[in-house]
Amino acid sequence: VARGINLGFELIDNSAAYGSSQLVRMAILKSNRRREELFLTTRVSNTVQREHRVRDEFFSTLKAFDTNYVDLLQFHWPVTDIYVETWKEIIKLQQEGYVKTIGVANCNIHHLETLYNETGVMPSLNQFECHPLFTQKELVDYCNEHGIQIEAYTPIARADTRMTRLPLMKRMAEKYKKTIVQIVIRWHIQNGRIPIVGARHKKNQMADLDVFDFNLTDDELKAIDAININSRLRYDPDNCDFSIL
C-alpha cells in the first residue's frame, strides 16, 4: 500500500470489516505523502450495524488511522431493516465534522430511494459491482441522473476469460499498445466511474496508473458496454446472507 501511494494512488479504499485500519496508518507513515494529499475511505461493517455500534466502530477506526476525519464514510452493505438507521448515524457523523463525504455500497435503486425518502439525504456515492460482464446499466443510469458518483468494485471482472479472450478486447489492446486490464480501467474512467483497483506487485500497480495517455472512441465504449451478459461475480444485495459478509 505504501508503494502504491508513492507511485501515485491517492484513494485508499478501506472497511472496518477488513481489520486493516492500523496497517493503512502504517502505510501512510511509510509513504512520502501527507495525510491531506490522500482520499481516505472506510465503511461500516455489517456486524456493527446489527449491534447498533456504528459510532463506536467509527471512532475506533479514526484512532487506528491516527486522523481526526475521513474523506468518505459508507456502510458496506444495506443490511435488511438496519441500513436506514446506519445511514442516519453516518449523516450525524458528517454533521459533526468527522466525515467530509458520505456514501453507501452495494445499494440498488430501491435502497437509494428508501434512504432518501426516510432522511431527505441522498448518498453522494455508491460503490457496487460493475464491469464489462455486468454493466448494471439501470443502476448506473439512475446514479448518473441523481448526481451519485459511482465507484466500481471488481472493475476488471477478475480478468474473467469470458472477457479477456474476446477478439474485440484483444484488438483494442493491440491498437493502443495496452493490456486488456488497462482498456477496461480506461472504459470505467471515460464513463465517469471510479474503478477500485488493487495490485500487490509494483509492475501491476504501475500498469493500473498508466491509463491516462489514450482515449477510447465512442464506438469502442459502446462495444465494451455490449459485452454485458449480466454475470454477477460477487454477492447480490437483494439475495444474500448478510451475517456472513
Q: How far is CA 221 from CA 29, 156, 218, in A?
A: 39, 15, 5
The single residue listed with the C-alpha cell 461500516 is 44
Do residues 3 and 26 lie in contact, with contact meaning Cβ atoms separated by under 8 Å?
no
Do residues 135 and 232 lie in contact, with contact meaning Cβ atoms separated by under 8 Å?
no
Annotated catalytic residue, options 18, 98, 142, 235: 18
Active site residue 18: yes
| Catalytic residue set | 18
